[in-house]
Amino acid sequence: MKILNQELQTRLPSAITGHLIPAKTDYMLENPYIDCILDSINNNENVLLIGEPGCGKSALVLHLAAELGIPLVQIQGDGECSVTDLIGGFQFNNGETKWIDGLIPFALNNYCWILFDEINMVLPEILSRLHSMLDNRRMLDLHEIGKSIVVSRETIIFGTMNESESGRHAGTKPLSPALRSRMHSKVKFSYLTPSSEIKLLTQRTGINIKDASLLVRLANQIRDAWRKGEVNDPIDTRALLACAYKINRGFKVEHAIYPTILNDLSEDTAQAAKGLLISYGVIKPEEKK
């Protein structure tokens, strides 16, 4: 299948991993480095996607996997993931102790793509186990059982992260230089242009252009204020989609926008957003608390 200027290999579904192929959705291939990402996929390189929440990092990987029919093992980075969960461990069952593979050996043995969502929230002792599969050795060392698994050309390893230096994301930390250097392509993501974001809202949710334009206008004014340090939060595309779905199901904008957008913002950002909505004539001045 040709995507932009790159020819990528599609796959036939497998009975074992067919359920891991993501569902197809609309996606705006707007990032100027999309070609670089596709080239990395074609050349078995690791890809790190960096940017604010809700700007399309994970959605891009899901979109490409869906289009190409590739099973995707998605690992959510958090402090709860253990080496046993991801790598594997010994378990006692029916009177005997057996090694049980974790998610990563399963993915490698079944030629899945692997997506580490918020990779900079994964515990350091887990990340250190990934080094041999990310560098030119291309293998996962299971020293507990004296075995290694080769990373095939069919397996691409992605990571997504929010920049920890921003201070907005609890639990995040800078990636170690050793791991960051093993990610061949590092691509920064931003929010869609207004025209593309409006198109996404209308195509994905069925909302009309007028309401989509209003939501995108609000989001971009708040994002501009956030970049200047005037408010604490941006409004992300994920929140706009949630609001648009409610509007398309019959809610008025002024009712849909509270549970999906305003109630999730810090107090100062919510007040700024309400001020804008008053200026648009969407909510009344008395609603500004």
Separation between Cα atoms, residue 254 and residue 152, nearest integer Å: 51
Q: Compute φ and ψ for 277, nearest 5 degrees.
A: -65, -35
pTM value is: 0.87
The residue ranges of every structural domain in the chain are 2-188, 194-287
Note the pLDDT of residue 146: 93
Q: What does the pLDDT look like over 36-92, one tens digit per residue?
A: 999 999 999 999 999 988 889 999 999 999 999 999 999 988 767 788 889 999 988
Q: What is the mean pLDDT of the chain?
A: 91
Strand partners, 73: 114
Residue 248 has pLDDT above 60, yes or no: yes
Q: What does the pLDDT look like over 140-174, one tens digit per residue?
A: 999 999 999 999 999 999 999 987 544 454 555 77
pLDDT confidence band for 284 (50 / 70 / 90):
confident
Residue 25 has pLDDT above 70, yes or no: yes
Note the pLDDT of residue 286: 67
Q: CATH 3.90.800.10: does it fit domain 2-188?
A: no
Note the pLDDT of residue 289: 44
Note the pLDDT of residue 257: 97
Q: What does the pLDDT look like over 179-232, one tens digit per residue?
A: 999 999 999 998 999 999 999 999 999 999 999 999 999 999 999 999 999 999
